[in-house]
Structures are given as structure tokens and as C-alpha cells.
């Protein structure tokens, strides 16, 4: 039996395909507004598999000889699916469409679109995603991970101000010590990354000779 939490999280991801993803124009743009989830498919032909709470419909568009139609599932199959489903949900048999029921053990969280980490006030571009409780991200979008965090670490953007030497307290009103890395500028930091990497691969200028090997048998001669 499929774990209902896994089923709901999968459906939640496929709802995004219809509501904001590749199938948005073909489905929502054609006036189908009922809660639905689906997935496009494109190879030599076009597919769209989608469902509501009470009806599943799969559309295939292609040639019998497996010729390439050179069009995506969102362009070919999804519009047909939307037109069929509009008529289906208008009929009494399939009109009772309900939102997908979220089981216990699933939580909704707001994520940052750039890092896919928990959103806060510093990350205004967000979306909602469902997770099995305990598997959701624990870090926020400004904690130095993801794409933004990569450039922050490499270029020294953000973070704490550089501290002075231990035990040295600057006089009142003195400007804080400037991080030498910040003086380099953007290209200086980029070049510095590769310089450091290059220097790490070079042997030392004056390598020390290896220590002499101890005599065999502890220096006591043949036994």
C-alpha cells in the first residue's frame, strides 16, 4: 500500500505543473479551474497525464510509426486534456471535484524560489510546498547555502565584519578593520581563487630531503 503522505506530496508537486509550471498555459489558460495535478511528457511524441479528485485522464499525441512530432506534451496533449476535462467536470458524474485531501503527517512550508530553503523577510520570492513532517528544510534562505550562499562564501559578500588581532581593542570612534579580501574587488577575488588553487598544486620551492632510513636489524648487524 502506498503511504498516503508520499502520495499527497507527489500530487502536490504535480499540482505545481498545472498551476505554475509547463502545463499552466495549456490548462489554466484554457479555463480549466478545478483542482488538478498532472505531468507532461515529451519524447518522439507528446503526453499529458492528469487527474482531479475523482477522474484520471491520459492523452497521447503521436504517429503510429514513431516519427518525431517535434512538439512537447504541453503543446500537444495538455490542451486536449484541458478541453476534455472541462466537459467532464461539467457533467453530473464528475462535477463533485474536491481539493486533494492532505493527510496527517504532512506540513506546508514557504520556500525561497532561489535556494529552495525556508523563506523569510529577506527572500521575497516564495512558493508553498508540502513535505512529510521532519523532512522539510531546516535552514533559511539567508543562512549561506544555495546559489546565493556560494557567491557569498567565494566573494566575501555579507557575513560578519573582519575582527582585529586578538586582544587589540580599537579606540572609540575608530573605523572597523577592513577585510583584506574586500580590497581585492570582484575580479581580484576571482583570480585569487584560481591562484590559490594553482599554488596548491605546485611543489615547494626548496623541498626538504627525506630523512635517512634506519639501518636494517636496528643497526646491530647480522644476527
Percent of the chain with pLDDT over 90: 61
Query: What element of type H or E holds 110?
Result: strand 106-112
Which of 69, 64, 11, 4 is closest to 36 using CA atoms? 11
Q: Above 90 in pLDDT, residue 205?
A: no
Pick from 3-12, 82-91, 150-159, 183-192: least confident: 150-159
Return d(Cα 185, Cα 168) in angstroms, integer. 27
pLDDT in tens, 90-140: 999 999 999 999 999 999 999 999 999 999 998 889 999 999 999 999 999
With cell 532561489, the residue in question is 114
Return d(Cα 20, Cα 16) in angstroms, integer. 5
**Stated pTM of the model:** 0.62
Q: Above 50 in pLDDT, residue 39?
A: yes
Q: What is the mean pLDDT of residues 154-179?
A: 45
What pLDDT is recorded for position 22?
94
What pLDDT is recorded for position 148?
46
Pick from 15-29, 43-57, 136-150: least confident: 136-150
Burial classification of residue 102, based on how many CB atoms lie within 10 Å of its CB (0-12 exposed, 13-18 middle, 19 or more buried)? middle
pLDDT in tens, 172-195: 555 555 444 444 444 444 344 444
Amino acid at each position: 500500500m502506498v503511504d498516503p503522505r508520499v502520495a499527497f506530496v507527489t500530487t502536490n508537486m504535480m499540482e505545481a505543473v498545472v498551476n505554475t509550471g509547463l502545463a499552466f498555459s495549456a490548462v489554466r489558460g484554457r479555463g480549466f479551474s478545478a483542482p488538478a495535478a498532472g505531468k507532461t511528457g515529451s519524447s518522439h511524441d507528446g503526453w499529458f497525464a492528469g487527474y482531479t479528485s475523482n477522474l484520471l485522464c491520459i492523452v497521447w499525441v503521436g504517429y503510429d510509426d514513431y516519427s518525431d512530432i517535434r512538439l512537447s506534451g504541453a503543446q500537444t496533449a495538455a490542451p486536449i486534456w484541458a478541453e476534455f476535462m472541462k466537459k467532464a467536470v461539467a457533467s453530473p458524474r464528475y462535477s463533485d471535484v474536491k481539493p486533494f485531501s492532505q493527510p496527517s503527517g504532512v506540513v506546508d512550508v514557504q520556500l525561497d524560489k532561489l535556494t529552495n530553503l525556508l523563506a523569510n523577510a529577506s527572500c521575497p520570492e516564495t512558493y508553498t510546498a508540502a513535505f512529510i513532517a521532519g523532512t522539510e528544510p531546516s535552514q533559511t534562505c539567508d543562512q549561506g547555502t544555495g546559489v546565493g550562499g556560494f557567491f557569498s562564501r567565494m566573494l566575501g559578500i555579507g557575513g560578519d565584519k573582519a575582527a582585529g588581532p586578538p586582544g587589540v581593542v580599537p579606540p572609540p570612534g575608530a573605523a572597523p578593520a577592513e577585510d583584506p579580501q574586500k580590497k581585492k574587488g570582484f575580479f581580484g577575488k576571482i583570480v585569487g581563487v584560481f591562484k590559490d588553487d594553482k599554488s596548491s598544486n605546485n611543489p615547494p620551492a626548496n623541498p626538504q630531503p627525506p630523512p635517512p632510513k634506519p639501518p636494517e636489524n636496528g643497526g646491530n648487524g647480522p644476527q
